[in-house]
Chains A and B, each alone.
Chain A
Amino acid sequence: MSLTMLRNKPAPQWAVSLRQRLCFCLLLPVLAGCVAPGEGNFRRPPTPAEVEQYNAMVQPEDRIVCRSEVPVSSNIPVRKCRLVVDIDETSVFHREQLRRALR
């Protein structure tokens, strides 16, 4: 009986206010994510055409490759740009580590 009464009883003002604040706090990061950051603190990765133009102007050792990569512990692909020399070095390193582990 008392349970039914409690259910039908309107929530006190302080509880409504607390719930609103809680919702606001939870939504705040979501809303912040939707806001486009200013130029000062945001650098977009170069577009494929920009990468190609840059690569055409520099020596092979300075050329870069931009790709969408899915990082570990996430399913959201991230566009990352790397020097080709670095990609090759990382590839060699990983191959070497794998070989050592299998030995």
Chain B
Amino acid sequence: MRRPSGPACVLLVCATASAVTLPFAVLAQTLTSPFSNHYTLSSQRDVLDSAESLVQTGELDAAEVAFRRVFESVRADQGLFHEAQLPVLDRLLATNLARQDWEKFNYYLDYHRALASRLHRNQTIRYAESLATGADWHQRAALIMADEHRTWHLIRARNLIWQAVSALEQTPGSQARLSPLLYQIATLHYYLTNVASLRGRTSLEVRTDRPLRLSGWSMSGNEAERRSYAVGQELLERIYRLHATGDGDSHDLAHIDTLLGDWQLLFGRDELARDYYFKAYRALRADPSATQLIDQLFGTPVTLPASYFSTPMQNDTSALSAMNTSQGPVRPQLTDDFFTEDHRYELDHASQ
């Protein structure tokens, strides 16, 4: 076989080198050149891929620039009110959350809400889902932030979920989607009472939607706690009624009784908690098919607030579960012996 000549070798090497470096060169040009046309679909994909790889390597500032270019490109290419913005917007939110650039994060979150409202206003379920997504972002931010900023994010999340609930209430047949949202509101009340600052809470709740504290009358700590307990109790009872009037599955009702028991435990009402647990436990023990559920609910200690079950809209309290600390209350492991007189005070010890 004949060996390639010198010039042919050079050509071969050049071709190989260009094949390897071309995507990077294109990418670099797309990212840096002010004259490049990044409004084309292929270019959007390139930039998006590069942004994702920048996130992987931890270069968040560069990734944010790249995502912003894709965002602008999608807007220019497909229209200011096109749905294609939403996935890019999610990436922008994630990047700014990781960078802890709260100004941009809040800006894109406002944009997300306005866009979702414009796009899905007439499609109730999608609208409710996008509101719940916005609430989830606020909850993620609340995990990172402290003091009044955490309070503000939790309150914003709660308001968005209420808006989703209000939208779903207007739509027949979407009652099943209400329960997880109502539970999420209750859980947010617990976090607002226990891990968020009380300072400026009244102002953030009723005086302004911005993260500002305006002076004026404010609710006392005790009053705020009592109200949070009342709201959560009301919502959990409503969830119970929703399930009771629906198919009325005894397993579901026992599960909700357990959540009601958890709620009492979270607010220090141990005797009431015991009653709810007993009701749930007795109902499940009477059903031979509920062994697995008994084990799931009472087999091991559960850190509270527990996550909701069977969520049609999977926007659970998972984002906030990281706020649960080892110091928090725990649903104790329950057995038949637990409800006898000898173990009367065991719940108190377990919850401490």
Does any Cβ of B come within 8 Å of A39's Cβ? no
Instruction: Say which residue of A56, A60, A84, A91 sits within 8 Å of B162 (CB atoms).
Output: A56
**Contact of A52 with B223 in the complex, beta carbons under 8 Å:** no
B235 touches A49 (CB 8 A): yes
Residues of A within 8 A of B163 (CB): 56-57
Binary contact readout B211-252 vs A (1 if CB under 8 angstroms, 0 otherwise): 000001101000100010011001100100000000000000
A100 to chain B, nearest CB (A): 20
The smallest C-beta distance from B138 to any residue of chain A, in angstroms, reads: 13
CB pair B234 A65 closer than 8 Å = no
The answer to whether B162 and A65 have CB atoms under 8 Å apart is: no
**A60 and B234 in contact (CB under 8 A), knowing A48-B227, A53-B165, A91-B217?**
no
Q: For chain A, what secondary structure do more than half of its interface residues adopt (helix, strand, loop), or is it mixed?
A: helix
Once A56-B162, A56-B163 are accepted as A-B contacts, the answer to whether A48 and B206 lie under 8 Å apart by CB is no
Q: Are B234 and A49 in contact (CB under 8 A)?
A: yes
Cβ B231 vs Cβ A48 within 8 A: yes
In the complex, which residues of chain B have a beta carbon less than 8 angstroms from the beta carbon of A47? 230, 234
- Return chain B residues, CB-CB under 8 Å to A67: 223
Collect the chain A residues with CB atoms within 8 Å of residue B166's CB. Answer: 53, 56-57
Q: Which of B160, B165, B206, B227 contacts A63 (CB 8 A)?
A: B206
Complex interface: chain B residues within 8 A of A84 (CB): 206-207, 216-217
Q: CB within 8 A of A88: which of B159, B216, B238?
A: B216
Total count of chain B residues near the partner, CB < 8 A = 23
Taking a contact as CB atoms under 8 Å apart, the answer to whether B217 and A87 are in contact is: yes
In the bound complex, do residue A49 and residue B231 qualify as a contact, i.e. CB atoms below 8 Å apart?
A: yes
| A-B residue pair count with CB separations less than 8 angstroms | 51
Q: How far is the CB of B107 from chain A (nearest CB, A)?
A: 20
Contacting residues, chain B, for A49 (C-beta < 8 A): 230-231, 234-235, 238
Chain A: CB-nearest residue to B163: A56
Give the CA-CA distance A53 to B231 in the complex, in Å.
10
Chain B residue nearest to A59 (CB atoms) is B209
Top 10 nearest A-B pairs by Cβ distance?
Answer: A56-B162, A56-B159, A63-B206, A88-B216, A49-B234, A84-B206, A48-B230, A48-B231, A49-B231, A53-B162
Contact sample, A vs B, 25 pairs, CB 8 Å cutoff = A47-B234, A48-B227, A48-B230, A48-B234, A49-B234, A49-B235, A52-B158, A52-B162, A52-B185, A52-B231, A53-B162, A56-B159, A56-B160, A56-B166, A60-B206, A60-B207, A60-B208, A63-B206, A63-B207, A64-B206, A67-B223, A84-B206, A84-B216, A87-B216, A91-B217
Other A-B pairs, 4, CB within 8 Å; known A60-B208, A64-B206: A48-B227, A49-B235, A49-B238, A84-B217
